[in-house]
Copies of this chain bind each other. A is one copy, B any other.
């Protein structure tokens, strides 16, 4: 069963209509622990021998984000990734040289975000964003 039902119920309660397309997309990203691009969602849909238009995938994923059921973020590789709340709030450190992605845990950012919220009266919502820079390895090799 998992949380799919909870997700769908929450949407229905918000007044959204539950279509087969939405059910399928919610099921896919709720069961997948990692990040997914819209295109990856599409591929899994195709494997299930049905088909959904890519625009619908984007619309559904963005709707989940707007309702706090998923987060959306840019991995710096030209593609946008989505993940359910299960994935947890954190920062991605994206190396602009080798493309590696390191995840910063919630603990390491919560104090900072609280400070921002206080100082700027801003509700940092999906705590899922990217900082671009150089990873340790690339940083060293660049000196040579």
Q: Hey, which bits of chain A sit against chain B, CB under 8 A?
A: 66, 74, 91, 93, 95-96, 102, 104, 108-109, 112-113, 115-116, 119-126, 129-136, 139
Contacts and interface: CB of A to CB of B under 8 A. Distances in A.
Contacts of A136: 121-123
Given A129-B130, A129-B132, A116 B108 contact: yes
Q: How many copies does the complex hold?
A: 2
21 contacts: A66-B96, A93-B120, A93-B122, A104-B120, A108-B116, A109-B112, A113-B131, A121-B139, A122-B133, A122-B135, A122-B136, A123-B133, A123-B136, A123-B139, A124-B131, A124-B133, A125-B132, A125-B133, A126-B132, A126-B133, A129-B132
